[in-house]
Amino acid sequence: MGQPATRTAVPVQSSGPALARSAAPGLDRFNTAPPAEAETALLDCFGSHRWAHRVAAHRPYPDLGALLAAADEAGYDLSPADLAEALAAEVSPGLHDTAPHSAHLALRAAHAAYECRFGHVFVICLDAFEPAEQPDQVLAGIRARLGHEPDQERVVTAEEMRRLARGRIIRLVSGS
């Protein structure tokens, strides 16, 4: 099981929008990018067109804190359809190719159980964990969240999506 070609719910340092890899990364570059380019970059952070349009439309941002606050606010105002659109753009966190086959099977089974119960991929922000800790955190997160009621899980999923977006935005404007 290799790295997916599309976005992943696990932040990956080497991937990201073209805007982040440009010669002049940073908040100033984001603030002055054409609207369509800014929205495309934001869609790589959070897959809702409404969210990306709203965040891009409120540029320029005086600092990263203001950009993150606007992203959070836009995230709190999403409809269930907007959140579903963003979730559809996510890929469940996976394991490195060198992980044991049994670990891949266990993770696939856990993801399948989660998706069957809630109807969407499992997302979790792993920014606070070292790469070696991430597989255990994913499995523990799935196990814990499988016990949630659907309404409770929607709230947790939305919060994890906002956390993922924040980390991706930070990497976008820092150019890393």
Q: Tell me: the pLDDT tens digits for 31-89?
A: 999 999 999 999 999 999 999 999 999 999 999 999 999 999 999 989 999 999 999 99
Supply the angle between the helices 49-57 and 64-76 in degrees, to the nearest 10: 140
Burial 67-101 (b: 16+ CB within 10 A, else e): bbebbbebbeebeeebbebbbeebebbbbeeeeee
pLDDT at residue 90 in the model: 93
Q: Tell me: the pLDDT tens digits for 91-105?
A: 888 877 787 888 889
pLDDT at residue 53 in the model: 97
Domains, the chain, ordered by start: 20-86+163-174 (1.10.3330.10), 91-160 (no CATH)
The residue that leads in pLDDT, 38 or 16, is 38
pLDDT at residue 54 in the model: 97
The whole-model pTM stands at 0.81
